Structure 1
Amino acid sequence: MTRTKGDPSALRAHNRQTILNHLRQLGPVSRTQLVELTGLSSAAITGITAELIEDQLLTEQSTGEAGISGGRRPIYLGIKYSAHYAVGLKLREDRIEGVLTDLSTHVLAHLVEDLTIHDPLQVAVQIHTLCSKLYRHARIDADHVIGIGIALSGVIDALHGTVVHAPLLGWHDVPLAPLVRKCTGLPTHVDNDVNSLAAAERLFGHGKQTSHFLTVALGRGLGGALVLGGELHRGRQGGAGEFGHNLAVPDGRLCSCGRRGCLEAYVAEPALLAQFQAQHPDLSSSVTTIPALVALAESHPGAAGLLRRAGQLLGTHLSYLVNTINPELIIIAGEGTRLGPLFFDSLRKAVHESAFDCLGDDLPIVIDIWPDDDFTPWARGAASLAVQCAFDFGTLAKGGDMVHR
C-alpha cells in the first residue's frame, strides 16, 4: 500500500494500524499505556480510539485499579473481535472447504461442498452461494462481513488476486479475486494456501510475537511460507516458498510436478506410503494410510527407518533455509504433523546439526499438530487473509479490495 509522505489520511491510517496491532499482540490496555507504547500524543490516542470505537473495532472492556495516589481508574480498551466477520475458503480440486470466523479467526460455522466444475466463473458463483449458507448457519448479519479470503495450492499473485498457475484446478492467469468480488460484492483476497497458514500464525498463532519465521506445510505436498520483518514474503511472482520442489535426489522418484528427485517426492505423505509399499509389497494392502504406517513403525524396522530417513532429509533441507534467512522460529503444520516422533526427532536433529555455526542452536521448531480429518485450519488460514487487512490497514475494507503491502 503506497502512502504519500505527509498525507494526513495516510498518517491517520498508520496510527490506527499501530494501535490495533498493539492491542492484538498485548490484549487490553489503557489509553495512557497506548501513549507510552506508541509514542503518540494523548490527544491523538483519544481521537483515534474514539474513531475505532465508532467503527466497532475497539470496545471499552474493563476498568483497572486506581494508582497509589488515587485518581480515576483507567479504562482498558480491547479489540471488538465479535463485531465483524470474515469468510475463509480452501479450494481443492474436488471440493471447497469454508468457514465463517470473527476477527479473532474463531470459527463460527463451517461447510464442505463438492467442486465438480472448474470453470472460474462457475466457481465464483458457487462461492457466493456457499457464503450465503455460512451466514445462515452462523445466524449473522451479512452486512458485518468484512471480506473473503481464498487459499489454494499454486503460484498466486496476491497483489492482483490472480491465480498465476494452479495445476490441480487447471488454471492459468485466472483473475479469481475480481470474479468473486463481482459475485459477492465483498473485498476478496487470494493467496497460496501455505501463505494463508503463515498469515494466521502471524496474527494469532505461534508467530504472533515474532518478526522472522518460517511456516512449513507438510501433508499431501510440501511447501513453505516466509514472514520477514513481520510481513509475508511472496517473491516476484508469488512463488516464494516452493522449496518442496528443490532437487533432493538427482534423477530420483517422480514428483507430482512432473520432475524427478524433488524433496516432496520423498517426504510428503503419499510419497512415504508409496516408498513403503514398494519396499514391502507383502504389507502394501494393510498399510494404506499414514496412521497405519506410523503405528507399524513402532515394531517394524523398515517403517521406522523410512520415517527417520525422511525426517532427516527434510531437516537437512530446512537447515539450508535456516542458513539463508536465519529465522527466529520454524512452525510445521498440515496433515503431516501426525508423522510422529521418529520423523520429527530426526528432523530436529538434522536442522540443529546441519545449520551453519550457531544458527541452529536453540532454534524453536514447533509442530502444530492438527486433528485427523480437520480441514478448518486451512480455511481458517484463508479467513485470516481478510482479517489481516483490518490490522494492516487500520480500517475495514468494505466495498472494495485492499491489497496486502
Structure 2
Amino acid sequence: MHKGNPSYMKQMNRRLIINYIKENETVSRATISKQLSLSKPTVSAVVDQLLKEGWILETGSGEASSSGGRKPVNLKFNPHKAYIIGVDIGGTKVAIGITDLNGSMISFSEFPTQVYLEKNLFEQIKKHVEEQKEKLNIDNSKILGMGVGIPGVVHVEKGIVKEAPALRWINFPIKKELNSKFNFPIYIDNDVNISVLGEHWKGIGSTRSNLIYIAIGTGIGSGLIINNRLYRGSNYSAGEIGYMVTDKEHAQQYYPVYEGYGYLESVSSGSSIGSQLSKKLKKTLTAKEAFKLYEKNNKQAVEIIETAIENLGIGIANYISLFDPEMIVLGGGVSESYSLIINKMQPIIDRFTPEKCDVVKSILGKEAGVVGAVALFLKEHDSMLTIKGEG
C-alpha cells in the first residue's frame, strides 16, 4: 500500500498513538499531539475511536485546576481489552498461560509432555486452554491469538517442526495440528527463540540490545537478540549451541545421548548429566538428583558435573568472543543450580574471553517460555500493538 494512501496513514496514526499511550502510562491528548507531531484534530479523532473500541480508557475528571483552567483528561492503555495465549512445549513439560496485552500472567498451568506425546497432546493443550478461559470467564472473542515454542528446528513460515529430538518429531506439521483445535491466529518458533524474546521484553535483559539466552535442560539451545532483533539464521537454526564442539579429543569418540543431539548437549545437558550418573551408579537419576549428590561431594557426580560445567563454560566463552553480547541469560532446568554452576564456570569464561560479559540467571523462571510465546505473537501478528525490537 502506498504511504500516501489515506487509509494507510490512518492505520499508522492509530498504531503510533496506541503504542505511545501503552508505553507512557497516562498521557493527555495535547501531549500526544506534541510528542508525535500530529495535529490535534487527528489525535482527537483517533483517540475517540480507540476509546469507543475499548483499547484505551480515560482517567482524571478534567475539572478546573487552581489556575482556573480545566485539568486535561488523561488516557491510559487498557491491557484487558484482549488476551494472548502462550504455549511452551518442552521435552519434559508443556506450560500454558494466558496474559493480558502487557504480558502480565493471569493464568498458568502445566502438564507432563511424555505422558501425552504419542496421543492426545493437542487435545490436552486444548483442555488446559479451555479450563483457563473458563476460570477467567473469557471467550474466544477476547483472545487475540496464540504463540507456541518448540524444542527443535522450526520452519516458521511453513509451520513445520523440521527436527525436535526431545519430541521425536521430524517434519511434523504442528501448525496444521494446532489449527484443527483453535480458530485464532497462531505463530510458532523454536523454544529458545521465544525465551530470548520474553527475557528481552519482560525479563532481566529488557534494557539490553544484544542478548543471548541459553536453555540448559533436556538439550541445550540458545536464542540471540542482535541490535534489538531476533536472529534466526538462514535455515531457522541459529543458536544451536548444543552442536558446539568444546573438546576435540573427547569429540572423536563421542556419541549422542539421544539421536539428533549435538556434542555439547551430549556432555552438558540435564538429560546427559542424569544419564551419565545413572550408568555409573546403576540406578535411574535425574539431573536434579545428580546436583544434590554433587553438593554432598559424591565422587562420580563431581566428575560428571565438573566436566559438564567445563564444556559449558568453553561454549559460552566462544559465544562471548563471537557475538560480544551485553548479557547471557541462563534458563532451563539445570539453571536452578545456577549458584553452583557459575562459581565453577566464571573462571573458565574469564580465561577464554577478550571482554567481560554478565552471565545471569533468568528471572522469569518456569513462565519464561509462555511470556516469550506471547512476545512472539505480538512481534509477528499484524496488529496495532508493537513490542521493542519488532520487525
Change in CA separation of 1:57 and 1:174 when aligned onto 2, cut-off 3 Å = farther
Which amino acid letter does the alignment assign opposite residue 86 of structure 2?
Answer: G
Contact 2:187/2:380 (<8 A) preserved? no
1:378 and 2:369 matched: yes
- Match of residue 288 from structure 1: 285
| Selected match of 1:227 from 221, 225, 228 | 225
What is the Cα deviation at residue 291 of structure 1?
Answer: 3.6
Change in CA separation of 1:160 and 1:150 when aligned onto 2, cut-off 3 Å = same
After superposition, the CA RMSD in angstroms is: 3.7
Q: Which secondary structure does the structure 1 equivalent of 2:76 belong to?
A: strand
Contact 2:96/2:108 (<8 A) preserved? yes
- Which ranges in structure 2 are unaligned for 5 or more consecutive residues? none
What is the Cα deviation at residue 242 of structure 1?
Answer: 0.9
- Match of residue 270 from structure 1: 271
Larger mean CA deviation between 22-31 and 73-82 belongs to 22-31
- Kindly tell me the number of residue pairs found equivalent between the two proteins: 382
Q: Which secondary structure does the structure 2 equivalent of 1:184 belong to?
A: coil
Change in CA separation of 1:110 and 1:340 when aligned onto 2, cut-off 3 Å = closer
Mapping 1:96-135, distance limit 5 Å? 96-112=94-110, 116=116, 118=118, 127-135=125-133
- Give the whole-Å Cα distance in 1 for the aligned partners of 2:130 and 2:9: 36
Mapping 1:1-400, distance limit 5 Å? 4-22=2-20, 27-34=25-32, 38=36, 40=38, 42-61=40-59, 71-92=69-90, 96-112=94-110, 116=116, 118=118, 127-249=125-247, 250-256=251-257, 258=259, 262-277=263-278, 281=281, 285=283, 288-300=285-297, 302=299, 303-304=301-302, 306-356=304-354, 360-361=355-356, 363-368=357-362, 374=366, 376-389=367-380, 393-395=383-385
- Give the whole-Å Cα distance in 2 for the aligned partners of 1:184 and 1:20: 28
Larger mean CA deviation between 47-56 and 99-108 belongs to 47-56
Structure 2 length-normalised TM:
0.80
Which amino acid letter does the alignment assign opposite residue 376 of structure 2?
Answer: L
Q: Which secondary structure does the structure 1 equivalent of 2:95 belong to?
A: strand
Contact 2:165/2:261 (<8 A) preserved? no
The Cα offsets for residues 131-188 of structure 1, whole Å up to 9 and x where unpaired, read as: 3232112222321011012211111122343323333444444443354335422011
Contact 1:163/1:176 (<8 A) preserved? yes
Contact 2:99/2:105 (<8 A) preserved? yes
- Give the whole-Å Cα distance in 1 for the aligned partners of 2:373 and 2:78: 20
- Give the whole-Å Cα distance in 2 for the aligned partners of 1:135 and 1:126: 14
Change in CA separation of 1:288 and 1:116 when aligned onto 2, cut-off 3 Å = closer
Contact 2:86/2:372 (<8 A) preserved? yes
The Cα offsets for residues 71-99 of structure 1, whole Å up to 9 and x where unpaired, read as: 54454443321221112223346764322
- Which ranges in structure 1 are unaligned for 5 or more consecutive residues? 397-403
Structure 1 length-normalised TM:
0.78
What is the Cα deviation at residue 127 of structure 1?
Answer: 4.3
Contact 1:214/1:224 (<8 A) preserved? yes
What is the Cα deviation at residue 353 of structure 1?
Answer: 3.2
- Give the whole-Å Cα distance in 1 for the aligned partners of 2:33 and 2:25: 15
Which amino acid letter does the alignment assign opposite residue 255 of structure 2?
Answer: L
- Match of residue 400 from structure 1: none
Which amino acid letter does the alignment assign opposite residue 137 of structure 1?
Answer: K
Which amino acid letter does the alignment assign opposite residue 290 of structure 2?
Answer: L
Which amino acid letter does the alignment assign opposite residue 161 of structure 2?
Answer: V
Contact 2:217/2:334 (<8 A) preserved? yes
The Cα offsets for residues 226-251 of structure 1, whole Å up to 9 and x where unpaired, read as: 11232222122321111111222322
Which amino acid letter does the alignment assign opposite residue 364 of structure 1?
Answer: D
Which amino acid letter does the alignment assign opposite residue 394 of structure 1?
Answer: M
Q: Which secondary structure does the structure 2 equivalent of 1:266 belong to?
A: helix
Contact 1:101/1:107 (<8 A) preserved? yes
The Cα offsets for residues 38-63 of structure 1, whole Å up to 9 and x where unpaired, read as: 55555554444444434433333458
Change in CA separation of 1:176 and 1:348 when aligned onto 2, cut-off 3 Å = same
Which amino acid letter does the alignment assign opposite residue 300 of structure 1?
Answer: N
Q: Which secondary structure does the structure 2 equivalent of 1:197 belong to?
A: helix
- Give the whole-Å Cα distance in 2 for the aligned partners of 1:58 and 1:188: 25
Change in CA separation of 1:323 and 1:84 when aligned onto 2, cut-off 3 Å = same
Larger mean CA deviation between 107-116 and 329-338 belongs to 107-116
Identity among equivalent pairs (%): 23
- Give the whole-Å Cα distance in 2 for the aligned partners of 1:118 and 1:269: 23
Which 4+ stretches in 1 moved above 6 angstroms? 63-70
Change in CA separation of 1:337 and 1:50 when aligned onto 2, cut-off 3 Å = farther
What is the Cα deviation at residue 205 of structure 1?
Answer: 1.9
Q: Which secondary structure does the structure 1 equivalent of 2:80 belong to?
A: helix
Change in CA separation of 1:311 and 1:8 when aligned onto 2, cut-off 3 Å = farther
What is the Cα deviation at residue 223 of structure 1?
Answer: 0.6
Higher relative contact order (CA 8 A, sep 6+): 1
Change in CA separation of 1:127 and 1:8 when aligned onto 2, cut-off 3 Å = farther
